Amino acid sequence: MSTSATNPGTVTLDALLSAVRNAVDSGRIGTPVNVRVHWQFSETELRKAALIVARIANEALGLEVPAWRVRSGKIAASKGNMLNVLGEDRRGRTLLATLFRGESNEFALTVFGNHGILRLEDAGLDEDSLGTIDEEADWWQSLAEAIGPGS
């Protein structure tokens, strides 16, 4: 996985998507059934972060008509904003993401398969590498509606 030139502890979105795709395609974790993400970021809007995380989960799970539950809130002690996203598709494959807009960049990803686990811990996701959202993806509209305009 390639890292960002600005911070060697961060990974680019393209490199992350490629690593997830390679791990799934190799069959070493079996059939992916769940993706868990914790992401704290400083620059990205919560709405965009949720859509990026769904893109990452879709790379592993191949989401089919997911239903979304979204909870947002403020973290009083840190004055940051938080968003929890739960998505489940019609095959029972799930995404559980905790997104927090704060002062640092921390990213952790776990893809659970029926024969193994893919894990990325103690990393950051390069916010400059996020690009634009694929608004043509099947899950995009339903997640954008679940998040609503205020996040």
Domain ranges of the chain: 10-147
Eight-class DSSP state of 108: E
Q: Judge whether 10 and 105 are in contact, CB under 8 Å.
A: yes
Which fold would CATH assign to domain 10-147?
A: Dihydrodipicolinate Reductase; domain 2 (3.30.360)
* pLDDT above 90: percentage of residues in the chain: 66
Dihedrals φ, ψ of 149, to 5°?
A: -75, -15
Q: Is the pLDDT of residue 6 over 90?
A: no
Give the mean model confidence (pLDDT) for residues 22-47: 94
Tokens describing residue 82: 């938080």
pLDDT band of residue 3 (cuts 50, 70, 90) is very low
Q: Is the pLDDT of residue 7 over 60?
A: no
Give the mean model confidence (pLDDT) for residues 37-55: 93
Q: Give the per-residue pLDDT at 86.
A: 97
C-alpha–C-alpha distance, residues 26 and 16, integer Å? 15
Question: What pLDDT, in 10s, does the model give residues 95-113?
Answer: 999 999 888 899 999 999 9
Q: Is the pLDDT of residue 134 over 80?
A: no
The distance from CA 36 to its chain's CA centroid, rounded to whole angstroms, is 8
Sheet holding 117-125, edge to edge: 10-11, 117-125, 106-113, 32-41, 94-101, 80-88, 67-75
C-alpha–C-alpha distance, residues 31 and 9, integer Å? 29
pTM value is 0.87
